[in-house]
Amino acid sequence: MMAFWYDLPVAVQDGLVGLMLLTPAIVLGAVVLRGFETRPLLFALVRQQVWLSIVFVALIAVSVGIGVGLIAQERGLRQGTARAADKFDLIVAAPGSEITAMLAAVYLQASDMPLIDGETYHDIESHPRAELVAPIAFGDSWKDAPVVGTTPQFVVHLAESLTEGRMFASEEEAIAGARVPLSVGDEFSPAHGVGGAAEEDAHRGANYTITGKMPLTGTPWDRAILVPVEAVWGVHGLAVGHGPEWDGVVGPPFEPRYFPGTPAVLVRADSLGSTYGLQATFNNDETMAFFPGTILARLHALMGDVRQLMSVLAVITQVLVTASVLAGLMMLTKLLSRRLALLRALGAPGRFVFALTWSYAVFLIVIGAASGLTLGVLASWAISQAITARTDILVQATLDWPEIHIVAGFISLTSILALLPALLTMKRSVIAGLRG
């Protein structure tokens, strides 16, 4: 049986789980409503108590929306950060904090890092298994956009193709990310440093011309400006990685004795096995080689703990709201007691009143849960937009099966709890009900 279950497609498994979670409510509805047509009176009750019904629906919607939003947002953030690191197979940096190096090299968070020297870079670049080796030199900026020195090969690897213009070919040219407010042909002068500590006049006289624009990648590189690494070294008064006979063509190969250093190096090997081999080779006393995906996995594990905490908080919220809904339904049935007692006085059986009360409660629960599902998705979308604008990491919080499972379980649980006020209504004396 278990083998058959695991052989099913994941989508089918999720659908069956959702159906199983909803089954108690469906079965209960079939049993309670068997033989009765409650819809005309149900809608009449809703119309007569429209404002109370709206209050209950809103209370349930907020509760469900919180749970749905928390789970969808956490998943969207996890997927967005993983997508942003997808192009960075292996990072080599000077020994230090792997998290700091990853945040600087992959997510362009400003950080002071020691440099890899020319001999070390040459060892990486000349490794027979290395397919792509590119320096990532940061520290300058233009407005809020980091200016990153690298090679044409790295730009091609990152963006594959440009949406406008051409690749930079000299020290005075640059490629702008999709979100940088510069167009092909625009000129700018970089500042030394990033953010509030940037020195605007430190590189006075150094000007770049935008020759191309990258497509939208959904990563922090969308707000970056990429320039030849030779230009970054040159504006700081350093050697440019090439000897006196250099012909001005930017990019590799670099000469070790003229290589000023770089805080990070992107390495891509010709196979997965070679990537692990390169990591083992360059993870030594002089350099630190790590997989950004591995570091992200650790951070996601921490986020998983946070997610569990948020899930517990969501469950607690659901329980509290369920209890509130139950108490509210009991008070609501008291408000409706005269009308329900009149039905019984006119000959309606007690089980019909029971079915009507239960269906009224479940109607509010289903409408509230569906509204909460929509509310949670909309709230997650708004928060995702804010996170994307703040970090330039494309976060897409979309509806998925875990949220549907939460709503299905909530509907079944509250449907069972709704039996209590319906039972109390059926047991109440007709005379007492008519007296109010």
DSSP 161-184: S-SEE----STTEEEE-TTSS--T
Which residues are CB-contacts of 12 (< 8 A; sequence separation ≥ 6)? none
Residue 228 is inside which H or E element, if any?
strand 225-228
385: left (phi over 0), alpha (psi -120 to 50) or beta: alpha
- pLDDT per position as a tens digit, 69-122: 877 877 887 888 888 888 898 999 999 888 888 988 898 887 888 889 989 999
Backbone dihedral angles phi then psi of residue 322, each to the nearest 5 degrees: -60, -45
Backbone dihedral angles phi then psi of residue 238, each to the nearest 5 degrees: -105, 170
165: left (phi over 0), alpha (psi -120 to 50) or beta: left
Q: Identify the residue whose tokens are 């009360």.
A: 357
Choose among 350, 311, 325: nearest CA to 415.
325
pLDDT of residue 139: 82
Helices 337-345 + 350-391 axis angle, to 10: 150
pLDDT beneath 70, residues of the chain: 1-8, 195-203, 302-319, 321-322, 325, 328-329, 331-350, 425-436
pLDDT of residue 435: 47
Backbone dihedral angles phi then psi of residue 237, each to the nearest 5 degrees: 75, 25
Residue-wise DSSP of 260-327:
--BSEEEEEESSHHHHHHHHHHH-SSS-EEE-HHHHHHHHHHHHHHHHHHHHHHHHHHHHHHHHHHHH
> Global pTM?
0.75
264 strand-pairing partners: 93, 136
Cα distances (Å, whole numbers) of residue 23 to 14, 34, 148, 243: 14, 16, 56, 75
Contact 94, 125 (CB under 8 A): no
Q: How far apart are CA 42 and CA 357, in angstroms?
A: 8
Q: Identify the residue whose tokens are 């997965």.
A: 272
> CA-based Rg of the chain, rounded to a whole angstrom?
32
- pLDDT per position as a tens digit, 385-409: 887 777 777 777 777 887 888 888 8
Q: How far apart are CA 75 and CA 395, in angstroms?
A: 9
Burial of 204 (0-12, 13-18, 19+ CB in 10 A): exposed
pLDDT of residue 384: 82
pLDDT of residue 152: 93
pLDDT of residue 264: 92
pLDDT of residue 266: 94
Q: How far apart are CA 300 and CA 78, in angstroms?
A: 7
- pLDDT per position as a tens digit, 109-162: 878 888 899 899 999 998 888 899 999 998 888 888 899 999 999 999 988 889
What's the N-to-C CA distance of the chain in angstroms?
A: 56
Encoded amino acid at 305, one letter: D
Token digits for 1?
């049986």
Contact 275, 104 (CB under 8 A): no
pLDDT of residue 335: 58
If one counts every other C-beta atom within 10 angstroms of the C-beta of residue 343, the result is 18
pLDDT of residue 92: 93
Report whether the peptide linkage leading into residue 181 is cis, meaning its omega lies within 30 degrees of zero. Answer: no
